[in-house]
A and B are shown apart, each in its own frame.
Chain A
């Protein structure tokens, strides 16, 4: 018999969380009002958000558009080679400035009243300005830039007033693995995207995309992938880093064409690297695949993820071809070894429209204290992030004053 009584389902996030650190109230996944709070406190709040990598806009005039929650962004490389992130909104009457997902422009023109912005955001021209309001000054109407910082080309933005400096926010555990994941120096070359829409709350996506116990992916077992030694530290502000040895698979007979899973440059000792940055960015290097996942929380039940794949600028042509083949077949929503993730995001979301809590088990040694380290295949890596989320959102624990 279950300990939960039927009839207690409200569909609303509870005001108070369970006292046990391994329990997550399921009703936080389907609550539309809570999503509005999350936008304010998390997505528009005091944390950094990964919105792209400079390799996506390699040439002067290249741009891409993206969203942070519901806020439209325009990321552009200027004549000075600087990559800037603007609100994608004309400073005249607020019209969406750029509608393409990506491209190359000499300048950005708003079609509404033909205001023209240069690549660095300055307002270059605005017809009829002689008759504008008396306090109008052209130099005050450049595109508005978000607070931006970069780490080896990774572009992060924040709209919070009290966001800590990026270095401090990344902390100790992230840089070593993240730099290896980004090819050591961040000089990456974009190979392309796989974009996907999940019918899942962003937290459900996030809770399962970076890492979960190894039982889900039958293909990993069929391929004989042996997880070797590794480390998987977490930080109190919700980041999580995993380094794992991947023993090159002895051909298990599963693949007719095992060349797909060769290691060409990846060091099997660090065959699998995962960096998960709070609140919802997952980046992985698995064998020779370099994959950054730019995620957008669209609503309480839709999450969009742009899986961007990269090579390194110094790669030989042969290596690039190998990366393309691995990247196009293994991971992500079409990848033959881990597409189960996509199915799970949706099922988690449906299943969480029920009363009670989701309870983490494997590796939990204390119900009151969180550990910042875990053993391979434990479930506990998500718990510090949940604790950080709980605090940011202001949920009290049972018994807490």
Chain B
């Protein structure tokens, strides 16, 4: 372990990590330099949003660890008031799959496209097991009449681990600024 990762062997949750904006300019993680780690994290995020935007949702659960994982879309309003209720809250891989099956086979909703824009990808802490990463997102929604609106803006708080040589989310918390949903939310963000 590098001196920096030793110093940072924190077990803090994503929320705590969000507070501690550390200048992580130099570290090594699993033999990757800081720059390479940053690049790999950005690749992961890019592939993740492409999966959703291209409507390849059957593969969406694959971005998460198999054994234990957690995916949550929660409003900033609820978070700031210390309230746990979420818009979507999956505590197992099975629940992730159930969301997609439901979307494909049960739910009725107007056709629309999502377009994610991600920026400010910031590795906030590093320890032997995981990376805590915060990034901003915007989801543009285009309805089939051609009109595009901002559907959701917020941030990702991610806990990323290396699983069989691949980066996976063991936890993804989507904190939504846009806390008043436009009509409905069916697909993951």
Query: B89 near A339 (CB under 8 angstroms)?
Result: no
| Count of A-B residue pairs with CB < 8 Å | 126
Tell me the A residues contacting B by CB distance below 8 Å: 101-102, 190-199, 216-219, 222, 254-257, 260, 304, 309, 324-325, 327-329, 333-334, 336-337, 339-340, 342-346
Which of B75, B98, B108, B109 meets A260, CB within 8 Å? B98
Asked if A192 meets B180 with Cβ closer than 8 Å, knowing A325-B89, A337-B106, the reply is no
State A260–B97 Cα separation when bound (angstroms).
13
Task: Tell me, in angstroms, the Cα distance from A269 to B77 when the chains sit together.
Answer: 35
What are 13 of the A-B contact pairs (CB < 8 Å)? Answer: A191-B83, A193-B77, A193-B78, A194-B85, A194-B87, A197-B181, A219-B106, A328-B72, A328-B86, A329-B89, A334-B181, A334-B184, A343-B108
CB 8 Å contact bits of B94-108 with A (1 = contact, 0 = none): 110111011101111
| CB atoms of B184 and A260 under 8 A apart | no
CB-contact partner of A336 in B83, B93, B98, under 8 A: B98
User: How many whole Å from B182's CB to the nearest CB in chain A?
Assistant: 6
- Establish whether residues A336 and B106, one from each chain, have CB atoms under 8 Å apart when the complex forms: yes
Q: Are A333 and B185 in contact (CB under 8 A)?
A: yes
Q: Tally B residues with Cβ within 8 Å of A.
A: 39
Contacting residues, chain B, for A329 (C-beta < 8 A) = 88-90, 95
B85 touches A309 (CB 8 A): yes
The answer to whether B115 has its CB under 8 Å from any CB of chain A is no
Do A336 and B75 have beta carbons less than 8 Å apart?
no
Q: Does B16 contact A (CB under 8 A)?
A: no
A255 to B97, CA, bound (A): 8
Report if A194-B181 is in contact (Cβ < 8 Å); known contacts: A254-B101, A324-B84. Answer: yes
Q: Does B165 contact A (CB under 8 A)?
A: no
A345 neighbours in B (Cβ, 8 Å): 183
Known: A329-B88, A336-B106, A336-B107. A197 touches B183 (CB 8 A): yes
- Interchain CB contact under 8 A, A346 and B183: yes
Q: A101-B77, A255-B94, A343-B110 are in contact. List 16 more A-B contacts (CB 8 A).
A: A102-B81, A195-B180, A197-B180, A197-B183, A254-B101, A256-B101, A260-B98, A304-B180, A329-B88, A336-B103, A340-B109, A342-B109, A342-B183, A342-B184, A343-B108, A345-B183
Asked, given contacts A217-B106, A337-B106, A339-B107, whether A327 binds B183 with beta carbons under 8 Å apart, the answer is no
Q: A206 → chain B, closest Cβ, in Å?
A: 16
Give B148-189 interface residues, CB cut-off 8 Å to A.
Answer: 179-186
Contact A333 B85 (CB under 8 A): no
Cβ contacts B66-88/A at 8 Å (1 or 0 each): 00000011010110010111111
B110 touches A346 (CB 8 A): yes
Known: A257-B98, A260-B98. A199 touches B183 (CB 8 A): yes
